[in-house]
Homo-oligomer: A and B are copies of this chain.
Amino acid sequence: MEKLINYAKDNKENFLSDLVEILKIASVSNNPDFQKDMNECAKWIEKKFNEIGLNNIKIYETEGHPIVYGDWLKAGADKPTILIYGHYDVQPTDPIELWETPPFEPTIRNNKIYARGANDDKGQIMIHIKSIETYMKTVGKLPINIKFILEGEEEIGSKHLGKFIKEHYDLLKCDYIVISDTSMYDENMPSICYGLRGITYMQIDITGPVNDLHSGSYGGGVDNPVNVLATIISKLKNEKGKILIDGFYDDVIPISEKEHKEFNRLPFNEGKFKQELKISELYGEESYTMVERMTSRPTLDCNGIWGGYQGDGTKTIIPSKAGVKISMRLVPEQDPDNIAKLFTDYVKKISPNTVKVEVSALHGGKPYSASLDSPAIKAAIVSLKKAYGVEPVYTKEGGSIPIVNTFKEILGADTLLLGFALPNENAHGPNESFDLNNYYKGINTVLYFINELSK
């Protein structure tokens, strides 16, 4: 280990210059104008995989952007195999005028590197590439088997990855998946993220009279789709955040005493939170902490609503139509399809006969929870402690990373979410950055992790 850690210490300049190189490539996946850059980025990674001594390197074409694969499988069948997943595509850069330095000209200020993709996810990809390089250049081999897969469509919904995994089961099968694409809880708080919320996304469409009607001539005698929709929404959740859909909580695993204690260790600065969001009061279920509300409890939120006249001034109509998009965040063991059914049944039950109410399920993803007893998580805990010098904290993420479920379903393997970004580093926003302390400490963490896992 000493040799490894010394190599990492002596090679900070090399580690940084490769990070700068990949960040210069404008691999924006949602815009065909950047197709050339997407291909250039895949080729750059292929070259890097070659340099660090991976085998079976190949750029797999898909119907969308290519997937880059490489592996090193010479540790022997008695050693575990991990699959490292990441993505080389980045979000678009608009609003471009809010960037202090150009998004594809990486710039260092206060030991942070500023560029689109700095933390999401190129910086975190490079942590793994540079860890493998360190092993290969010092001891000439790895103590475990490693497969490395990088896709180019994460920011546009990983459209072709599921099919690829299904068609390459043997190539990808493994004991654990490792993804570095999440955040630490805060500075100097290395984090183990062991859960993600799932999602059920619904739409309600209401049709009343065949046309918009004059609200003077018909008001009082013809029901109003917007009023009906508002009443339906008001019956989905009470004002304290409790969801009123029959059976909604039936499969929810309560937060354990142990989890509750862990969550209470996480600092939460109410003043800063309210100030940053410009809200005057917090919200949520009464007997839960803010961290629990936003990561470990199911939710119901309207994402958009529409109906009738939205312009300036006044228009006096009973609108013919109204609609709403509603997403529910799910926790173990809620099932997205079952929740979609419960939602639909409940909405139908509370709808009046004066209007037509249609309910559609738009998409769903299961919640995810990893066991804290898995060897990969145990190895990660030890490694983070060694690299950072402090005990890691246990966190859950309120959002969803659908690919985690895809891996579980197809490959049967659990995912370790080992994130080195910070919450205020503006992933997806202007002036995205990545703290270089976490870049170097991340590399050390992975060096320890690979070693721990081999034991």
Contact = CB atoms under 8 A, between A and B. Distances in A.
A127 interface: no
A283 B219 CA distance: 10
A252 to B, nearest CB: 13
Interface in A347-398: 352-356, 362-363, 397-398
Interface string A165-189: 0000000000000000001000000
B314 A429 contact: no
A102 interface: no
Contact of A221 (B231, B283, B324, B325): B283
Interface residues on chain A, size class: 35 or more
B303 A316 contact: yes
A429 B285 contact: no
A220 B285 contact: yes
Majority-rule SS of A interface residues: loop
Interface string A216-249: 1111111110110111011101010100000000
A77 interface: no
Given A216-B399, A221-B293, A226-B304, A201 B314 contact: yes
Interface string A286-327: 000010011001111111111111111111111100101101
A257 interface: no
Interface stretch (A36-44, A139-147, A204-212): A204-212
A313 B241 CA distance: 25
A277 to B, nearest CB: 4
Contacts of A304: 226, 307-311, 315, 317, 319
A353 B130 CA distance: 47
Q: Which 8 A-B pairs have the closest CB atoms?
A: A216-B399, A304-B308, A230-B233, A304-B309, A226-B302, A234-B234, A223-B283, A219-B299
Given A217-B294, A227-B301, A227-B302, 7 more contacts: A31-B311, A212-B428, A213-B277, A302-B307, A304-B311, A309-B325, A317-B428
